[in-house]
Amino acid sequence: MTGVFAVLLAQSNLEEIRKNWNERRCDLEIMVTAHLYKPADDVRTSGEFSAENFNFCVKRVMFDTIKIFLLPVFAMLNQQLDVTESLNEAMNRFRGMQASFLQGFTKIIDPIFARFQQTGGQFAVNYQKFLMAMGRAFGITQAILYIGMSLVLTIENFIHFVIRVIMIIMYIILGLMILIFFMIIPVFGIIIYTCQVIGRSPFGYLSKDVCGELCFDPATKLHLKNGTVKSIADCHLGDVFEDGTIIEGILHVSGEHEPIFALDGIRVSGAHLVWFEEKQEWIPVAHHPRARLSLQGCPRLVCLRTSSRNIPLRGTSMMWKFRDWEELPLDIEAADAIWDSLVSVMLNKENTHQEVPHEIPLLQDTCKVMYKTGEMRKLSELRIGDSIYSSEGFTKVTGIYIGKAEFSEKQLFTDGVWMKGMGESKWHHPAIEQSATTPHVGFHLTTESGCFWIQTTSFSGFVRDFTEVGTKNIALTYNYTRKLLKKSSSREESCVSDSLSQVLLSSLQPIF
């Protein structure tokens, strides 16, 4: 009934609302019954007409609402515009004042500027005259240059003449050398024989081409008794080879400028000794017929000290036997004594006849050296390439050795160390009291100078490096070491006689 009543009420005002449609279309009751007021000529449906009217009214309501809310904002903006107009008027007055000031200032500056222009014009005239003078000087210089070029050509022609004369003289000398060569051919065999005799003498090291580090490529593979295979750079003290040989020490050295040879897949330095089965003797790797010089070097090299003095390595086709760092044979009792006397002669120019040390030269980590910055560092803190203090100033560390030795209580170095205290003139071994000893890990270094300075609680002075004689002189000992090895491999005697020791030392003393 309510709906019918609403329809009748709407029909009664239908014409009036259609006439005032724009004013009343957004009344609430009109919005609800908008489909009743659709004109007959309107092509839209009643639903579309009502929907569009509803949307229109909603937009109008929203617009009126926003207008009400923004009315204060617009009022404030109008006030700001009024203030802006006032500021513009003030700025215009300021511009007027500025123009008046500039006009007065211009009246003052114009005479000064005119005078400046006159001065500048005069300066330009003087500058043009200067350019003309420079042009004349350039012409003179160019003439001198041509004179110099002529002189250079003259000198060049003279040099060519001198070169031609020298070439003629060289051709004459070359002809004479060829003539002399054919003249000495009959005695050439005698010269070769003489060179061979010199090479086999105690001074044979002077004619050898093999000297340097006795080390391997860090990637060299070791086959251990427990079945594992590891690179020589990753081995540890106490590792055991397949034949029972125990690793007693590891030496890492710099391999810069060291020629590397490849022997059956094993990369090793040329001076390292290898057992040559065919001749039953130890020879340098560089002299082995199967060794080939490698074009690729190694920045770092590794060598070992073993219980058997041998390093067994497996090549591509067979097992190989190399000497360790010590090289001295174990079956010759006097080998260590000869070596110690040899070092004494090389260091002190005489044999001091000291007691033969029981241990190899090693230092405990508590021994400190002076680093290049002046600070004191432990041996374990050093790296290859560091600079430390020595008798020749600062020297570079070329190698680091780690091994085990028997140290007595409070003993900081073994009896094998060569040392020289402050104010002493001779190198000697330390006097160590024999007492209960325990095995400890010790360190040593190789340096460019052959020695370095250490400081402990009981000693302050210089010690020889691990080579004892220095890397520059180590090649001088190769000939004597090989003599001992040759005697050991020939199994003639179990020890070296005093006569052999005296011959070696007497032949070495004149060198130093």
Per-residue model confidence as pLDDT tens digits over 235-251: 999 999 999 999 999 99
Report whether pLDDT(209) > 50.
no
* Token representation of residue 50: 């009502």
pLDDT more than 90, % of the chain: 34
pLDDT at residue 351, rounded to an integer? 76
What amino acid occupies position 485?
Answer: L
Q: How many CB atoms lie within 10 A of CB 488?
A: 21
Q: Per DSSP, what are the bridge partners of residue 378?
A: 368
HSE (CB half, 13 Å, CA atoms) of 145? Answer: 6
Partnered with residue 461 across adjacent β-strands are 421, 454
**Could you tell me the two tokens for 187?**
């005695």
Q: Would you state the pLDDT for residue 7?
A: 54
Q: Which residue has the higher pLDDT, 32 or 220?
A: 220
For residue 421, is pLDDT > 50?
yes
Rounded to an integer, what distance in angstroms lies between the CA atom of residue 275 and that of residue 284?
Answer: 9
d(CA 118, CA 264): 95
d(Cα 420, Cα 427) in Å, to the nearest integer?
Answer: 5
- What confidence category does residue 323 fall into, taking pLDDT thresholds of 50, 70 and 90? very high
pLDDT in the model for residue 8: 53
The reported pLDDT for the residue numbered 479 is 77
Q: Are 450 and 403 in contact (CB under 8 A)?
A: no
Q: How far is CA 337 from CA 248, 305, 332, 418, 497, in A?
A: 21, 19, 10, 14, 11
pLDDT at 503: 45
Range of lowest pLDDT (88-97, 262-271, 501-510) = 501-510
SS3 238: coil
**Secondary structure tally for the chain: helices H, strands E:** 9, 19
Tally Cβ neighbours within 10 Å of residue 143: 10
The DSSP letter of residue 475 is: G
Average pLDDT over residues 62-87: 80
Rg of the chain, C-alpha, whole Å: 52
* pLDDT at residue 185 tops 90: no
Residue with the two structure tokens 């001088």: 476
Q: What is the mean pLDDT of residues 198-210?
A: 42
In angstroms, the CA 286 to CA 443 distance is 30
Q: What is the pLDDT of residue 207?
A: 38
In this predicted structure, the answer to whether residue 204 has a pLDDT above a threshold of 50 is no
At 197, is the pLDDT very low, low, confident or very high (cuts 50, 70, 90)? low
On average, the pLDDT of the chain sits at 82
Q: What is the spatial distance between Cα 212 and Cα 208, in angstroms, rounded to a whole number?
A: 12
Site of tokens 């070491």: 481
Q: Taking residues 411-421, what's their average pLDDT? A: 88
Q: Is the pLDDT of residue 502 over 70?
A: no
Q: Which residue ranges form the domains of the chain, and what is each CATH number?
A: 2-37 (no CATH), 221-323 (2.170.16.10), 335-511 (2.170.16)
Residue with the bigger pLDDT between 335 and 453: it is: 453
Quick one: pLDDT band at residue 435, thresholds 50, 70, 90? Answer: low
Closest CA to 286 of 267, 301, 272: 272
pLDDT of residue 303: 94
Burial 299-318 (b: 16+ CB within 10 A, else e): eebbbbbbebbbbbbbeeee
Beta bridge partners of residue 408, listed in sequence order: 437
**Which strands make up the sheet holding 292-294, listed edge to edge?**
266-269, 260-263, 292-294
Alpha-carbon span 263 to 293, nearest angstrom: 9
Q: What integer pLDDT is reported at residue 442 of this predicted model?
A: 92
The stretch 15-26 carries a mean pLDDT of 78
pLDDT at 119 over 70: yes
Task: Please state, as a whole number, how many other Cβ atoms lie within 10 Å of the Cβ of residue 482.
Answer: 19
Measured CA angle at 470 (ends 466, 471), to 5 deg: 100
Asked if residue 329 lies in contact with residue 496, where contact means CB atoms within 8 angstroms, the answer is no
The pLDDT of residue 370 is above 90: yes
